[in-house]
Each structure stands twice: as C-alpha cells, then as structure tokens.
Amino acid sequence: MVLQTRTFQRVPKLRQFIASTAIVLALLASPVSAQNSKPQPVPVKDIVPAARDIPFPGAMALEVDATDVDRAIFRMKQTIPVPDDARSAGRFTLLYPQWLPGNHAPRGEIEKLVGLKFSASGKPLAWRRDSLDVNAFHITLPKGVREVVAEFQFVSPTAGNQGRVVVAPKMMNLRWNNVSLYPAGYFTRNIPVDATVTWPAGWQAGSAMRPKRTTGNKVAYERVDYDTLVDSPMFAGAHFKSFALSDKVTLNVVADAPEYLAATPDQIEAHKRLVAEAEHLFGVRHYDRYDFLLSLSDEMSGIGIEHHRSSENGVGTGYFTDWAKGPGSRNLLPHEMTHSWNGKHRRPQGIWAPDFRTPSRDDLLWVYEGQTQFWGYVLGARSGLFSYQDTLDAFASIAAGLDRRAGRDWRPLVDTTHDPIIAARRPKGWTSYQRSEDYYNEGMMIWLEADQIIRRESGNARSLQDFARSFFGGREGDWGVVTYELPDVVAALNAVQPYDWQGFFQSRVFEVTPEVGKQGFALGGYELVYVPEASNFIRSGEAASGTTDLSHSIGLIVEKDGKIAQVMWGSPAFDAGMTVGDQITGVAGRDYSGEALKSAVAATSSTGTVQLLVKRGKRYRETALSYRGGLRYPALRKTGQGETGLDRLLAPQTR
C-alpha cells in the first residue's frame, strides 16, 4: 500500500512536467514575430522651407578662387543676407543644388563639398545637415544676425574614376552649381547674386555672363539671379580664342595647346551657317546673346549640356585639325543650340522646377531630347557641319542600332525617359536588353516620321518646321520659360496638320514595339539596307572610340585590345556564351586584331563559324560562333526618283 501511494503521488507531477514541456515546444514552434516588438512609422516632417515665388531680400555675394589648378580645388566665400522670418525662427537653411537642369536626374556632387564653415560678424555659427535631405544645411542664428558668411571648398575630380574632370593643366570648366549654396524658401529666379572669380594668371574665360569689372586676374561679373547663374557656366583657359558667328552668337574655344585652335575660314563659316539655319528654323531668338563654350582636350572630360544662352561642349583635340577624317562630334553643337528653343524656352511642365531641390518628371524627354536630336542632325546637314551622306549614314546607323535593342520586347520607349535616374549613366552589361536613354535616338526617328507625314498629308505644303516655329517660337528675345504637357504638343501638331497624333504617339512611345519605326525613311524615299562595307560615319566612329563594331553581324563591339565592350542579346556571340569583360586573344589560330576579326566574319558565308580564343579572368577557352551572314553594316538606299521628302528636309534653307 505504501508503494502504491508513492506512485500515485508522482503521476500528477509527471503530467505537469509533460504539459509544461508541450507548452514550451508549442511556443518555440509558433511564429517568432509573435514575441517581437513591433514599431510603427512616425510621420517624417520636412523642415526645409518650401520654395515661394517672392523676392529674396538682398543679394548674395559669391567669391570663387579658381587658381589652384594643380590640385583642382575651388575655394569659395559666400555672403548671404538673412531674411526676417529666418531671424525670427533662429534658423536659416541653405541648400546645395542637386537636381540640375539638362541632367534629368539628381547629379549634384555634394560629396565634393568640404571644409564647410559658417560665421556671422566673424564668429562661428553652429550648423547641422538635414537628416532627410543631405543637401540642406540648417544654421543656428543668434539674435541680431543679418547676414551669414559661408566658406568652403569644392574638391573637383583629379581622375575619371572620381567623376567628371573639370580642371586640366591649361583649362577648366567652372560650374556655379558646384561652388555655391542658395537659401531655401525662394524660387531661385528671385535670388540675386554678385559673382566674382579669381582666375589663374593669363587665362581668359567665356560665358553668357559678362564682366563688369576686372582687377588683375580677378573678375567681377554682372548681377544675375541664381537660376541664371547656374545656367551660365564658364570655360576658361590659357589657350583661348573667340569667333563671332553672328551679331549675338559667339564661339568660345579653349584647348590643351594653341595649335588645336587653328580653325580654317571654311570651318568657321559652317558654324556661322549653323546659327543662321537655327534662327531661320525657329523664326525668333530666345536669347539676348548666345555663347558656345567648346573645349578641345584630351585631359578635361568631355561634355554636352544645354543652357539657355550658352552650351557646354567638350570634345577631343582634333575637332578642327582632324576635320577631314570624318564628322566626329560635329553634331554636338547643333544639338545643344537647338535646346535654347526646345528644352530651355519651351520645357515640359514636369521638368521645370522652382529650385534645384524639386525632382524632375522626365516622361516627355522624347520631345525635349528626341526632337532636339532630330533638329540637331537636320541643322548639321543644312549648315554643312555634317555632309548630306554622313547624315543619311547616321540615320541608318541609329535605326539599325535601335533594332538591335532586344529589350524592345519588354520596355516601351517612354520608360527609357526614367533611365537617367534609374541607371545614372553607369555602365551596363547588357545594354541591348536593358535599353538605355533611347528617347534621344528613337525620339528622333519618331519626329522624322512626323515630318514626313505632315509633308504627305499637306501635299508638301507644310512640314515639322511649321510646328517648330509655332510651338517653340514666341516673342523675340524672350529667354524666360514656357511650359507644356503632351496635349499641348498634340494640339499644336493638329493646328499644323490634322492627323491622329495622339494615336501616333500612343503606338510609338507608350507601347512595346518589336523594331523601331522606319516609315519616316519610306515616306522620305529611302529604305534601310545592310551592306558589307562600313560607311564613313561608322569608320570615323570606330576610329574615335578605338572599337570594332560588329553589332549587326556576330553581335559584338570590341575594344582595341580585344576586350568586349558590348554583346547584343540574342546574337551569335550571345549564344556562344560571350559577355562584357571577356577578351578575345586569338582569331582563327592567330593573334587578335580588329582587322583579323573582320576578315573572319567576312569569310563566314563559306566557313559558317568564327573561331576565337577567349580569356575570362585567368581562364582561356576556344569558342566557335555559328554565323553565315558575313559583314553587315547599315545604310540608306534611295527608293524614289528625283528630290524626295528626306532630301527636302535636309536641304539648306538660307542659301
């Protein structure tokens, strides 16, 4: 009995242990989140004052020391009046420009702004960076402070892997957005600025801004608003030359060495015709003066950025001296000048902004950049900067290249307008499938077709030039901004020539298309064909870039040393497993060269393969590309008789 009693007493404890263990195991098996803390979002308050369309009280004074060429460092002192509301609040907010016009993306180089200190009456002021917007600086103001002094430096890139090189031994590109701050709370067009620059001794500078006082190598410039200041960059250099192209337009050139400035009279005459053709095209001038800024350099990075009364254009040293070798970069200046009308005066509502903090909405870049690309090539041909044949060859190359975009099967053209923000112009491994900023060239093809439709529908009585005059024209000398939306574009086209323009844009811009539209060629009396010989346009492009372009045959673009720059998605090279970064070291059992590769491709009509030795990292492999098409290069072939619509489009209008 005693034994039985003890056993009975143990059973409840055993049951209790088993039950407790089950509970623990059940808890361990339950979702972990049930035991975790769960925060809730707290609304984030933007404390940076919003831009208002009111006058800024006073004028900023900006002093830039640009003499440290060896280290490429700009040094600034900026004096900014403090508005009454900031004094009352005890806090003043200054901004560094971030969303820059013409870049279509946030390109401000805030990481290169260093040494920032604020003071008032010689006493330091405390500041902190905004936790939401890192381009905003909040300054604590003691009572009675009426102006703030900011001192800082801009450490510009000394090598290409740091960003665009803007200072070279004999020249520089001073961009005001890099070297200045501006007060939050105001439209930038309402903030006056007095800017002064100390240049290296003996240097000259070009800009749409004009000096009002010069003391030695220190130049004080005319007062402008901050919007105009940022829109008026400067090129300066030891080797500088200006050419008058009209009563209002000047070509300012800086070069690595004086011999590169040796422009011939015929070359300058072609630039004069460019100005005459552009002004004739649009009918009015949206500038009181216009300054081309052109750098000829192998040391300062290239550039092509539009401004209302100027443009930044950076090309290689042979722009004038290698003129006979091909068109090179000569479509750059026509493109950027066209922007004075399209992009600067007339601007999509989503791209215009009251300050340099407001994000850009780029959906209409196929108008802003696409039609500018169209007129750039047309003006190049009309002025003689591009020959007629080079222009046709450029059109053929562009259309064929767009057809190689395998990404057309998933990405419509309008989506590429967001690429400046999505990709930030970083290198892409599979550009043909990812697509890039195709709104430039495919936009050009759309406007080429629109021009030919207007000519057909009007019996050659009207053309896209009539649209250009009505839509981008206006008052002579007005260099303000007039915004538009897509319905405004459609209405203006219908006023020139009634047509289903809304449907036209819907199918070409907003829908996926298997290939680029070539109806503009067909209506203009030409067709795209492929031939075994490269055009002068393609050959000069290969020479300038140091590449071998076989994108229309085996699907490769190869650098001089055999490194693969591009592989076309779905091409024979793609099917053989090749990719960007591979290096071709041998062709058909011999050392690699561009000519050897071309010869091997040319022979494929009989061989059916291209035998390659390919290196990837430390490994080598033999690769056979299956292909029978030989060399293929795009060209335009005339289908009509006599003068066609495309002939009329490209013909000079002022001679």
Which pLDDT does position 20 carry in this prediction? Answer: 55
Quote the CATH superfamily of domain 536-634.
PDZ domain (2.30.42.10)
pLDDT in tens, 140-157: 999 999 999 999 999 999
Do the strands 60-68 and 192-198 form a parallel or antiparallel pair, or are they unpaired?
A: parallel
Hey, is 559 helix, strand or coil? strand
Angstrom distance (rounded) from CA 125 to CA 118: 5
Q: In the predicted model, is pLDDT for residue 6 greater than 60?
A: no
Predicted confidence (pLDDT) at residue 12 exceeds the cutoff of 50: no
Q: Tens of pLDDT along 571-599?
A: 999 999 999 999 999 999 999 999 999 99
What are the backbone dihedrals phi and psi of residue 601, each rounded to the nearest 5 degrees, phi first?
A: -70, -40
Q: What is the 3-state secondary structure (H, E, C) of 566-587?
A: EECCCCHHHHCCCCCCCEEEEE
Whole-number pLDDT of residue 553: 98
Percent of the chain with pLDDT over 70: 95
How many helices and strands (H and E) does the chain possess?
Answer: 20, 35
pLDDT at 420 over 70: yes
Give strand pairing partners of 195: 62
522 exposed, middle or buried (CB, 10 Å; 0-12, 13-18, 19+)? middle
pLDDT digits (tens, 9 = 90+) for 217-260: 999 999 999 999 999 999 999 999 999 999 999 999 999 999 99
CA distance 554 to 584: 14
Query: Above 80 in pLDDT, residue 3?
Result: no
pLDDT at position 442? 98
* Kind and range of the H or E run holding 556: strand 556-559
Q: What mean pLDDT do residues 495-509 have?
A: 98
> What percent of the chain shows pLDDT beyond 90?
94
User: What local confidence, expressed as pLDDT, does residue 226 receive?
Assistant: 98
Query: Which pLDDT band, with edges at 50, 70 and 90, does 10 fall under?
Result: very low
Q: Has residue 14 got a pLDDT over 80?
A: no
Domain(s) of CATH 1.10.390: residues in the chain: 346-525
Query: What pLDDT band is residue 29 in, cutting at 50, 70 and 90?
Result: low
Average pLDDT of span 187-197: 98
In 156-248, DSSP assigns E strands to 167-168, 171-174, 182-183, 192-198, 204-206, 211-215, 218-221, 224-225, 234-237, 240-244
Q: What is the pLDDT of residue 11?
A: 45
- Alpha-carbon torsion 482, 488, 490, 493, what sign? negative
pLDDT at 332 > cutoff 90:
yes
- Strand partners of residue 295: 254, 314
pLDDT at 655: 82
User: What pLDDT does 597 receive?
Assistant: 98
Task: Give the C-alpha separation, 503 to 511, whole Å.
Answer: 11
Distance of CA 114 to the CA centre of its chain: 26
Q: How far is CA 31 from CA 20, 22, 26, 512, in A?
A: 19, 16, 10, 44
The DSSP secondary-structure symbol of 52 reads: B
CB neighbour burial string for 324-353, b if at least 16 within 10 angstroms, e if fewer: eebbbbbbbbbbbbbbbbbbbbbbbebbbb
Count of other CB atoms within 10 angstroms of residue 234? 26
- Predicted TM-score (pTM) of the model is 0.93
Locate CATH 2.30.42.10 in the chain: 536-634
How far is the CA of 185 from the CAs of 8, 94, 127, 178, 209, in angstroms? 84, 9, 18, 20, 25
Per-residue pLDDT tens over the stretch 338-397: 999 999 999 999 999 999 999 999 999 999 999 999 999 999 999 999 999 999 999 999
Alpha helices in 482-582 (DSSP H): 486-496, 501-505, 519-523, 536-545, 572-575
Q: Each residue of 519-567: pLDDT tens digit?
A: 999 999 999 999 999 999 999 999 989 999 999 999 999 999 999 999 9
Is the model's pLDDT at 5 over the cut of 60? Answer: no
What is the pLDDT, as a whole number, of residue 284? 97
Query: Which H helix or E strand runs over 343?
Result: none
Q: For the residues 300-328, what does the mean pLDDT come to?
A: 96
Please report the pLDDT score of residue 641 as a whole number: 86
Counting every residue written for the chain, the total comes to: 655
Is residue 9 predicted with pLDDT exceeding 60? no
Q: Stretch 39-53: mean pLDDT, rounded?
A: 95
Q: Which ranges of 294-369 would DSSP assign to H, the alpha helix?
A: 332-338, 365-368
Q: Distance (Å, rounded) from C-alpha 469 to C-alpha 404?
A: 34
Flag the least confident range among 245-249, 278-282, 481-485, 542-546: 542-546
Name 591's Cβ contacts closer than 8 Å, sequence gap at least 6: 585
- The mean predicted confidence, pLDDT, of the chain is 94
CB 472 within 8 A of CB 345: yes
Please determine, for residue 31, whether its predicted confidence score (pLDDT) is greater than 80.
no
Domain boundaries 346-525, corresponding CATH code = 1.10.390
